[in-house]
Structure 1
Amino acid sequence: MTYAPIRTLPRRRVLPVGESRSLWRSRPSCGIFEFRGMRLQIAVEDPTEVLFPTDCGLSLIAALNGDDAPDLNGVNALDIGAGSGLYSVVLLAAGAERVTALDINPASAAQTVANVVTNGLDATRLTCVTSPLEEYTPDGRFDLVITNPPHLPYDPAYARGDGLETALVAREGGRAMYDAVVERMDTVLAPGGILLMAHSSLADIPRTVAQLTGRGYEMDTLEIFEMDIPLLAYSEQKDTMLGLLKERQAAGQADFDGSRFSVHALMFRRPLDATGR
Structure 2
Amino acid sequence: MSGYLSPVRPLAPPGVYAPQDDTDLLVGALSEEPLAPDADVLDVGTGAGALALAAARRGTRVTAVDVSWRAVWTARLNARLAGVPVRTRRGNLFAPVRGQSFDLILSNPPYVPTPAARTRPRGAARAWDAGEDGRLVLDRICREAPVVLRPGGVLLMVHSVLSNPDRTLGRLHDAGFRAAVTHRRRIPFGPVLRARADWLRQRGLVAADEKEELVVVRAELPC
Could you tell me the TM-score, scaled by structure 1's length? 0.72
- CA change 1:133–1:63 in 2 (3 A) is closer
**Structure with larger RCO (C-alpha < 8 A, sep 6+):** 1
Quote the Cα distance in structure 2 between the aligned partners of 1:51 and 1:73.
28
CA radius of gyration, larger in: 1
Contact 1:151–1:175, Cα closer than 8 Å, also in 2: yes
**2:39 aligned with 1:71, yes or no?**
no
**1:160 CA drift (Å):** 7.7
Contact 1:77–1:144, Cα closer than 8 Å, also in 2: yes
- CA change 1:155–1:209 in 2 (3 A) is same
Matched residue, 2:200: 245
- CA change 1:160–1:80 in 2 (3 A) is same
Quote the Cα distance in structure 1 between the aligned partners of 2:35 and 2:145.
20
| Aligned with residue 80 of structure 1, among 44, 49, 58 | 44
Quote the Cα distance in structure 2 between the aligned partners of 1:134 and 1:203.
21
Say which SS state the counterpart of residue 98 (structure 2) adopts.
Answer: coil
Give the RMSD, CA atoms, in angstroms.
2.4
Identity percentage of aligned residues? 26
Quote the Cα distance in structure 2 between the aligned partners of 1:263 and 1:173.
16
Say which SS state the counterpart of residue 169 (structure 1) adopts.
Answer: coil
Q: What CA deviation, in whole Å up to 9, does each residue of 1:160-190 have, x standing for no partner?
A: 8433101111124211110110111121212
**2:108 aligned with 1:148, yes or no?**
yes
**1:134 CA drift (Å):** 6.3
Matched residue, 1:106: 69
Quote the Cα distance in structure 2 between the aligned partners of 1:75 and 1:256.
42
Corresponding letter in the other structure for 2:220: R
**1:137 CA drift (Å):** 4.8
Quote the Cα distance in structure 1 between the aligned partners of 2:9 and 2:36.
19
**1:119 CA drift (Å):** 1.0
Q: What CA deviation, in whole Å up to 9, does each residue of 1:205-246 have, x standing for no partner?
A: 00000111233312243321110222x1576xx2xx224433
Corresponding letter in the other structure for 1:112: A
**2:169 aligned with 1:209, yes or no?**
yes
**1:140 CA drift (Å):** 1.7
Contact 1:150–1:166, Cα closer than 8 Å, also in 2: yes
Corresponding letter in the other structure for 1:89: L
Quote the Cα distance in structure 2 between the aligned partners of 1:127 and 1:86.
13
* Consecutive unaligned residues in structure 1, runs of 5 or more: 1-18, 25-32, 273-277
* Consecutive unaligned residues in structure 2, runs of 5 or more: none
**1:108 CA drift (Å):** 1.0
Say which SS state the counterpart of residue 17 (structure 2) adopts.
Answer: coil
Q: What CA deviation, in whole Å up to 9, does each residue of 1:125-148 have, x standing for no partner?
A: x22221112644523211110001
- CA change 1:270–1:226 in 2 (3 A) is same
**2:172 aligned with 1:223, yes or no?**
no
- CA change 1:218–1:234 in 2 (3 A) is closer
Quote the Cα distance in structure 2 between the aligned partners of 1:53 and 1:200.
15
